[in-house]
Amino acid sequence: MNPLNSLEYRKAFNDYLRRGVPIRLALKAEDLGRQTTHYIWRTRGDPQVRPSHIENNGKLFAWDNPPETGHPGEDYGCRCTAEPYERGTSEYAYQTITSDIDDATPQWNTGKFLDYFRTGGGEAVTLSKTGNLAGLIFYFFYAALVIDRINAQIIDAARKAKFGHFTYGFAGTYQFIGYVFAFGKSVVSGQFVGSVKTQNGMMFIEGSISYQYADEFTDPADLRQMATGSSALTPESWQWTELRGTPFSITDTWTTNFKSEAKLSATESMYRWPE
C-alpha cells in the first residue's frame, strides 16, 4: 500500500494544513515504505542548523521510535536528511553527555567576568559557577565543529588497535571569543577509554570520554597583548592591567559516552584523521 494513501497519513496531513502540526506518524518503517528500519541523522553542517538537530547529527534512530525532535524534515524548515542504515556498511559516530550540568544563574557575561577580575581576589571559578558550562560545551562541540574532529581522532586510534581495550588522549587550544568575549584561547583536553571489535572490515567502538577545560582570565581587554605583544602578567606589563585586577583560573569537567561504527579502511571511511 502506498503510505501516502493511508488513513493515518491523510489525518496527519489534515492536522498539518489546519493547525500546523508537523507530520509525524507512529508507523513501522515497512508501513511507510522505508528502505531500512533505522536511519542515521545527517545535518547540512552549516550555521543555520538548529541546536536540537545538531545534537542529533550522526546518531542512529529507528523509524518507529522517533526522537523528541521528530524525524529529519518533519520540523518546520528542517533541511536534515535520514541516511538509511545498514549494519556492516553504514558509518556513524556520536557522543552523548552523561555528566550533570548544574549551571548557576544568572549567566556571567563579559562584564561580570571583568567585575570578578577586580573583586574576586584571584580565587578560581568553574564554568558551572559562571553559568557557562552548558553553553560552552555546545559551542565547543557543535558551533566550532570540534566534535567531528575528536570523533575522527578516536576512530583513527581504534584503527591502530583493531581489537580490544584502548585509550586515546587529546588536547587542543580553542578560541571561544565567538561564545563569550571574555573567553579567549582556552585548553580543552580529554581521555577516551573504551574498546573496539572489528568484523568484516567494520569497527564497532564504544567507550567514554572525560573532558577538562582550563583557562586563565588575565587580560580582559587585550591591552597588555597590544602594548607588549604578550598577555603574560609581568612587572613590566602591570601598568596595562585593566582596573588593577587579579587574574583567576576558570576550569571544569564533563563526560560523554561515545559510540561508532566505522570502516577499518581509512581511505574508504568518512571518518579519518590526517597523520
pLDDT of residue 118: 83
pLDDT > 70: what percent of the chain?
77
Q: Is the pLDDT of residue 28 over 50?
A: no
> In what helix (H) or strand (E) does residue 111 lie, and over which residues does it extend?
helix 110-119
pLDDT of residue 19: 60
45-54, 67-76, 117-126: the lowest-pLDDT one: 45-54
Do 67 and 103 belong to one domain? no
Do 151 and 218 belong to one domain? yes
Domain boundary among 58, 86, 114: 86
Q: Is the pLDDT of residue 158 over 90?
A: yes
Is residue 262 domain-resident?
yes
Tell me, what CATH number does 144's domain have? 3.30.450
Q: Is the pLDDT of residue 239 over 90?
A: no
9-13, 59-63, 244-248: the lowest-pLDDT one: 9-13
Q: Is the pLDDT of residue 10 over 80?
A: no
Q: Residue 80 has which C-alpha cell?
A: 536534515
Is residue 273 domain-resident?
no
Do 120 and 231 belong to one domain? yes
Task: pLDDT band for 151, please (50, 70, 90 cuts).
Answer: very high
Q: What is the pTM of this model?
A: 0.77
pLDDT in tens, 66-84: 898 889 988 888 899 989 9
pLDDT of residue 39: 92
Contacts of 178 (CB under 8 A, 6+ apart): 139, 143, 144
Is residue 275 domain-resident?
no
Do 131 and 230 belong to one domain? yes
Q: Report the domain count for the chain.
A: 2
Residue 44's nearest CA partner among 33, 52, 53 is 53
Domain boundary among 27, 59, 86: 86
Is residue 206 domain-resident?
yes
pLDDT of residue 179: 83
pLDDT of residue 230: 53
pLDDT of residue 76: 83
- The three-class DSSP label of residue 255 is strand
pLDDT > 90: what percent of the chain?
40
Is residue 41 domain-resident?
yes
Do 125 and 190 belong to one domain? yes
Do 133 and 203 belong to one domain? yes
Query: What is the pLDDT averaged over residues 240-269?
Result: 86
42-51, 54-63, 116-125, 195-204: the lowest-pLDDT one: 42-51
Do 105 and 80 belong to one domain? no
Query: What is the pLDDT averaged over residues 219-247?
Result: 55
Do 261 and 231 belong to one domain? yes
The full DSSP string for 4-69 is GGSHHHHHHHHHHHHH---------TGGGT-SSSEEEEE---STTS-HHHHHHTT-EEETTB--TT
Contacts of 227 (CB under 8 A, 6+ apart): 237, 240
Is residue 91 domain-resident?
no
Do 14 and 69 belong to one domain? yes
Q: How many residues does the chain have?
A: 275
- The three-class DSSP label of residue 107 is coil
Is residue 209 domain-resident?
yes
Parent domain of 189: 96-268
Range among 186-190, 203-207, 266-270 rated most confident: 203-207
Do 80 and 26 belong to one domain? yes
pLDDT of residue 145: 73
Domain boundary among 55, 86, 117: 86
Residue 262 CA, distance from chain mean position: 19
Do 106 and 203 belong to one domain? yes
Do 24 and 44 belong to one domain? yes
Is residue 148 domain-resident?
yes
